[in-house]
Amino acid sequence: MGYASWVQEHAKAHKEIVEKLLKKGQTKEQIIDYFDFENMKTAEPNFCPLYKENRKCHDMESLNCYLCSCPNFRYSDKGVQEVDGKTQYSFCSIDSKDGRQGVYGESIHQDCSSCQVPHHRSYVEKHFGPDWAKIMKVCEVEQ
């Protein structure tokens, strides 16, 4: 699955949950609480494949899933640019010190496995909006 199709699928699942919570009259704070890993793994077991394994994508005590993947992620399924004869498909727009560019054969992808930026509650509060797709719209690089 390419980046764009994953984003489309994830946006649908995210929207269903947020709409359900908004219908119940939940506030921003309550919605962010709901997206805490500990709640999501039981309340929304199909939202992330890691929930069934009770496994977090990052080793942090309190992990919030609202802004998965990350508003700083940039991608293009057609390739962002050529780098030393390889195709770069994604990068980090803030060049986080905890991210890195991973080289996989002829492809280069952003590796966020050591970066916790979008999973901190304070970050989610700052960048919160009810429409996840709108927040992530900046991530797709136009080619």
Q: Does 117 bind ligand SF4 (CB under 6 A)?
A: yes
DSSP-assigned states of every residue in 11-63: HHHHHHHHHHHHHTT--HHHHHHHTBHHHHHHHSTTS-TTGGGT--SS--SS-
Contact 130, 18 (CB under 8 A): yes
Of 86 and 100, the one with the shorter C-beta distance to ligand SF4 is 100
Q: Does 34 bind ligand SF4 (CB under 6 A)?
A: no
Nearest approach, Cβ of 13 to ligand SF4 (angstroms)?
A: 19
Measure the CA–CA gap between 99 and 4, rounded to whole angstroms.
21
Q: Does 67 bind ligand SF4 (CB under 6 A)?
A: no
CA distances in angstroms from 132 to 10, 21, 54, 143, listed in the order given: 9, 14, 24, 22
Nearest approach, Cβ of 20 to ligand SF4 (angstroms)?
A: 27
Residues between 71 and 110 with contacts to ligand SF4, criterion CB under 6 A: 72-73, 92, 94, 96, 98-99, 110
Binding part of the chain for ligand SF4, among 34-42, 46-54, 68-76, 124-132 by CB under 6 A, reads 68-76
